[in-house]
Structure 1
Amino acid sequence: MLENPLEVDPTVDAIFKVCSGIFWSVTYLLILRRGIVDKSYGMPVVALCANLSWEFIFSFIHPHSTPQLYIDYAWLALDVGILVQYLKYGRKDFPEHLPVTLFYPTFLLTLLLSFLFILLLSREFNDLNGVYAAFSQNLLMSILFIQLLLKRNSPRGQSLYIALCKMIGTVFPSVLLYLYFPDSYFLVLLYVGIFIFDMTYLLLLYFKIKAAGLSPWARV
């Protein structure tokens, strides 16, 4: 449970939240663009379901204060676009040993479980700002991006700019939350873990794009 936060200048708080909002929004926009170009989806489905759930919960059920609330709205709208791409292109990555008729039920079950997990976790630990859920699912997302890259064995749906913007967009709230809760060692573990996996993903993606005979920095 996060209690007794230290004081942080409101201007610093707003700047860090807006910067995070910008970089994560750019991440989503780049995923959408890459999805259009590659005719694919760029976010692992479990991460997508977790994002949609978190953004809905903290937009409408336990709404954040501004400016984070408006950022949540923007993220939710962009993730709905990524959802459309997943529903359109996701069948090609669905396990071959399962009937394709399970594609939609599997997605709906994943979305429901993600929603309940984030909602109940936040209430159980009285974390109605969704901090634990946000960084936990961010770490999960970092790992899942690596898994998606290795599974596809290609940079389809991905670019270095997506990886960089995700990493930078996470650094801002990591620093901000550290200013508020410097003694939360669990959160520090999450910050460090996310950064390590994001750097690993960035390097793996760079070499995978190079191996495909493409220019990593020319692929937007």
Structure 2
Amino acid sequence: MNQPLINFEDYSIAGLIFNGVGCLFWVVAYVILVIEIRKKKFVEMPAYVAGANLGWEFVWSWIYHPNTGLLFALSYQAAFLLDCFIFYSVLRYGTKQPMNPETKKHFALFCVINFGFWIIFSYLFRNEGFDTLIGANSGYIINVILSLQCVFLLMQTKDTGQFSMVLAWSRMLGTGLISVSMFFFYPENHFVQFLGISCFILDNTFIYILWKRHGKLFGALSKA
């Protein structure tokens, strides 16, 4: 990667700060998710979107790189490495999420096919000029699916003790701050701005539902 540590030439300082802190919150969210998986043997990442997340991160970590700078590229790669464990855990524990018996029979195969599909999708989306130079368009398509599926998964799961309020806040802040940076980076890209606002609404809906069922807005460490 022959690029500066941070690309101040093409991006505003304010946008870079919002984006960088948002990326950091996402790495924190992944670390929390890994800890929760090891503790609970349950994956809060919706099983049907885990392959999409990993596929996008593979493309933007190893085939393309965000032109925001080396520090941002490294955060993408850190997220990918953490997501490898998360995806492995989805294959191992994903059938604990609500799904019918027929789906469980073919669950692992579906996850692998889904992973492959999103690698091809993310690569072609960028290669044929539909994406930004940091993968924002394709990333937000996946993020909307993730945020929506998180709400569905929460509503379908009886035991809310399986979910971390700290993770929910980290995910919301990560996506929310990156969404703010989209208004600085791409003031005319109303598509990605709309998706960012949609994610913010869905992520806060998740927090609200979890709070109503958990009884704690910020989450006690014992239930984090």
TM bin (shorter chain) = 0.7 to 0.9
Aligned-partner SS, 2:159: coil
1:60 corresponds to which of 39, 59, 62:
62
TM-score by length of 2: 0.84
Gaps of at least 5 residues in structure 1 are 1-5
1:125-204 alignment runs, 5 A limit: 125-127=129-131, 128-204=133-209
Give the CA deviation at 1:94. Answer: 6.6
1:18-37 alignment runs, 5 A limit: 18-37=20-39
Cα distance in structure 2, aligned partners of 1:94 and 1:161: 22
Please list every run of at least 4 consecutive aligned residues from structure 1 whose deviation after the TM superposition is greater than 6 angstroms: none
1:1-40 alignment runs, 5 A limit: 8-9=11-12, 11-40=13-42
2:47 corresponds to which of 38, 42, 45:
45
Task: Assess, with a 3 A threshold, how the Cα gap between structure 1 residues 41 and 67 changes in structure 2: closer, same or farther.
Answer: same
Task: Assess, with a 3 A threshold, how the Cα gap between structure 1 residues 156 and 39 changes in structure 2: closer, same or farther.
Answer: farther
For the 8 Å contact 1:28–1:79, the answer to whether it is kept is yes
For the 8 Å contact 1:16–1:173, the answer to whether it is kept is yes
Task: Assess, with a 3 A threshold, how the Cα gap between structure 1 residues 175 and 183 changes in structure 2: closer, same or farther.
Answer: same
Percent of residue pairs identical = 24
Give the CA deviation at 1:97. Answer: 3.2
Task: Assess, with a 3 A threshold, how the Cα gap between structure 1 residues 194 and 100 changes in structure 2: closer, same or farther.
Answer: closer
TM-score by length of 1: 0.86
Task: Assess, with a 3 A threshold, how the Cα gap between structure 1 residues 14 and 99 changes in structure 2: closer, same or farther.
Answer: closer
Gaps of at least 5 residues in structure 2 are 1-8
Q: Letter of the aligned partner of 1:42 in structure 2?
A: E
CA RMSD of aligned residues (A): 2.3
1:120 aligned onto 2:154: no
Give the CA deviation at 1:133. Answer: 0.7
Alignment length, in residue pairs? 211
Cα distance in structure 2, aligned partners of 1:143 and 1:153: 18
1:81-120 alignment runs, 5 A limit: 81-93=85-97, 95-98=99-102, 100-120=104-124
